[in-house]
Homo-oligomer: A and B are copies of this chain.
Amino acid sequence: MPVLLFYIIYTHMSLVIIGTIAYDAIETPFGKTDKIVGGAATFAGLAAAYLYGQVKLIGVVGEDFGDDNLAILKSKGISLDGVQIKKGEKSFFWSGKYHNDMNSRDTLITELNVLADFDPIIPDSYQDCQYLLLGNLTPQVQITTLDRLQRKPKLVVLDTMNFWMDTAWDDLMKVLRRVDVLTINDAEARQLSGEYSLVKAADKIMELGPKYLVIKKGEHGALLFGDGEVFVAPALPLADVYDPTGAGDAFAGGFIGYLAKVGTINFNNMKNAVIFGSALASFCVEKFGVERLRELDEVGIQQRIARFAELSKFEIID
């Protein structure tokens, strides 16, 4: 039964996510938290795990990172074989305060701790990686991850931020050449390209490597460029945004999780992936940290997707 065998192998190809697994302390107009679980890989992993069964994380935490926190990820079926726990060291810690408009924030504390000399280990069990999300992290670690995979994944999605444009431009250029999709926000797209027009920015950025570009615009939705096409995704208008932390990561996780689920890469599926990413991000901001992302279910996600479809649907007959 060679056909059946092929099918079984195919559906067990994994989605690997590398990124920070961290402690955050967050202040927004709605409240203030102590150290809570955060990190790009945490948010992205939780989002992706609702859409795809084989999610595997690469990351590093300190001895201070509670087992109960790792249990949050494990309970969603996420493999943590690639997550190093450094004895006697402390986890990456970030503390920030959001302004009243929720669109800008001040970083209060950044303690790299275990992240300072993070050398990603890729377990053998991760070498079936077909979908790779290089979550927001130093570009050098993203490159090392690509180098250490024995087989080029079917799809590589890169998430990054302005900080790396400021501090690690050359490495960022190197990793950009090796990815299929880049997800960044509009200010970052402008910084990366030197173009104000996002249409021109997209053209320039796609010359740097990625075939597809997703520009995340927060409350203004997202733009997808690629294959000579453009897609404009709505954001769900929300009465309250409790905590924007991790929304971009949840977006990236939902995005690649959907593509892993459908298994075919084309512009149409990319469009849907942007909608799933947007939907997961819209949940993320409804509570602090990963609280909301922990408690989702398939029906709730389907209903949110249906709301997105309703939001931007129109039909002009004449």
A residues lining the B interface (CB < 8 Å): 100-102, 196-200, 217, 219-221, 223, 230-235, 237-241, 262, 268, 271-272, 275, 305, 309, 311-312, 314-316, 318
Query: Chain B residues with Cβ under 8 A from A221's Cβ?
Result: 220-221, 232, 234
Asked whether B275 lies within 8 Å of A239 as measured between CB atoms, the reply is no
Query: Copy number of this protein in the oligomer?
Result: 2
- B100–A239 contact, CB under 8 A? no
Q: State which of B240, B311, B318 has its C-beta within 8 Å of the C-beta of A232.
A: B311
Given A197-B238, A238-B197, the answer on whether A233 and B312 have CB atoms closer than 8 Å is: yes
Are A312 and B309 touching (Cβ within 8 A)?
Answer: no
CB-contact partner of A199 in B239, B314, B315, under 8 A = B239
* B196-A239 in contact (CB<8A): no
Q: List the B residue with the shortest CB-CB distance to A215.
A: B237
- Provided the pairs A217-B220, A237-B223 are in contact, do residues A231 and B197 lie with their beta carbons within 8 angstroms? no
Given the complex of chains A and B, what is the CA–CA distance between A237 and B200 in angstroms?
Answer: 10
CA distance A268 to B317 in the complex (A): 11
Q: How far is the CA of A223 from the CA of B221 in the complex (A)?
A: 12
B232 to A199, Cβ gap below 8 A? no
User: In whole angstroms, how far apart are the Cα atoms of A275 and B221 in the complex?
Assistant: 17
CB pair B237–A275 under 8 Å, yes or no, is: no
CB-CB under 8 A from A240, the residues of chain B are 197
